[in-house]
A = this chain, B = another copy of it.
């Protein structure tokens, strides 16, 4: 074994450090208030053992936060990186109308990023979402890549896909858009503002997603890559078009940021029962959803009659 990166019989130092990282992650998770596994087994074995309640489907998704790609490390820190990986993943549960269940975390990182802070941010986001981290993996990498895989629960057969929108349904978004992109712009200009926190610590809309499902939403998607791109995904999956009347812009954001910025994690909701949706969200204490347009036979996607740009954040990996 002649690689400096992989030694068959490494000196005691690295092993001790690795064990201590795992121990410290376990300790941190042990301190998390939701760590009461009961009949389950969390953290510390080859895999976690989970006990699904009866009458549910299990929803499964994964998302990554990459140093320098999803997080400009000049302006965000290791805690933010961990938070954002978990928040982005849990947001996918919200978009299915699922309740969060359990999560595993993979941290591939190097000495330049504080792994304890990555884990602290991930644990904080998981606690905020009520989706306990039950296991994970820490490994070396020249680039810090944090990957969360989350499970959620939904009553059997009731998950809300992207593919259920029908012509005539009304389209809503749970809040104004572009806040995250505006926050990044402020950070880079070394300015402050409420949008900064939206960028650093996005919050998945789990309650709104569950209430929308219960209120009969026909389709949902979270705005992770930009309204234009995510709406295009919903429309293509459903085989419909969309006619938008408005793009709600968050305070301090531009129209372009609202349409193409992404990472807002607001939910786009299609429903045949707009009043039912409004009532359900109001009863649950959620902000009033914003009506943005209607689902059409399609396939055209328009904003005030003009073609809607499917702008959004895309990863150039070819």
Give A residues with C-beta under 8 Å from B: 1-3, 5-10, 13-15, 17-21, 39-41, 44-52, 54, 56-64, 66, 68-70, 72, 92-93, 95-96, 98, 102, 104-106, 108-111, 115, 134-143, 145, 147, 149-152, 154, 156-157, 159, 161-163, 181, 184-185, 188, 220-222, 226, 229, 237, 256-257, 260-261, 309-318
Instruction: Determine the chain B residues whose CB is within 8 A of the CB of A157 once the complex forms.
Output: 39
Contact across chains for B51 and A309 when beta carbons are under 8 A apart: no
In the complex, the count of this chain's copies comes to: 2
Instruction: Determine the chain B residues whose CB is within 8 A of the CB of A8 once the complex forms.
Output: 181, 226, 256-257, 260-261, 311, 313
Instruction: Determine the chain B residues whose CB is within 8 A of the CB of A256 once the complex forms.
Output: 8-9
Instruction: Determine the chain B residues whose CB is within 8 A of the CB of A185 once the complex forms.
Output: 1-2
Choose among B17, B92, B104 the residue that contacts A60 (Cβ–Cβ < 8 A): B104
Looking at the assembled complex, report how far the CB atom of A310 sits from the nearest CB atom of chain B, in whole angstroms.
7
Looking at the assembled complex, report how far the CB atom of A88 sits from the nearest CB atom of chain B, in whole angstroms.
9
Instruction: Determine the chain B residues whose CB is within 8 A of the CB of A106 once the complex forms.
Output: 62-64, 106, 147, 149
- If A96-B45, A257-B8, A260-B8 touch, whether A64 touches B147 (CB-CB below 8 Å) is yes
Q: How far is the CA of A135 from the CA of B237 in the complex (A)?
A: 15
Contact across chains for A140 and B66 when beta carbons are under 8 A apart: yes
Instruction: Determine the chain B residues whose CB is within 8 A of the CB of A316 once the complex forms.
Output: 13-14, 17-18, 111, 140
Choose among B54, B72, B181, B229 the residue that contacts A54 (Cβ–Cβ < 8 A): B54
User: Could you pull out 22 A-B pairs where Cβ atoms are within 8 angstroms?
Assistant: A5-B68, A6-B72, A14-B314, A17-B316, A21-B317, A44-B237, A45-B96, A45-B162, A46-B92, A46-B93, A46-B96, A46-B222, A47-B59, A47-B152, A47-B159, A51-B156, A62-B136, A64-B137, A64-B147, A69-B141, A108-B145, A145-B145
Instruction: Determine the chain B residues whose CB is within 8 A of the CB of A147 once the complex forms.
Output: 62, 64, 106, 108, 145, 147, 149
Q: Which of A57, A115, A139, A188 has the most CB of B within 10 A?
A: A139
Contact across chains for B49 and A96 when beta carbons are under 8 A apart: yes
Choose among B6, B46, B70 the residue that contacts A69 (Cβ–Cβ < 8 A): B6
Choose among B7, B59, B134, B184 the residue that contacts A1 (Cβ–Cβ < 8 A): B184
Contact across chains for B62 and A317 when beta carbons are under 8 A apart: no
Choose among B17, B102, B184, B221 the residue that contacts A46 (Cβ–Cβ < 8 A): B221
Instruction: Determine the chain B residues whose CB is within 8 A of the CB of A92 once the complex forms.
Output: 46-47
Looking at the assembled complex, report how far the CB atom of A287 sits from the nearest CB atom of chain B, in whole angstroms.
21
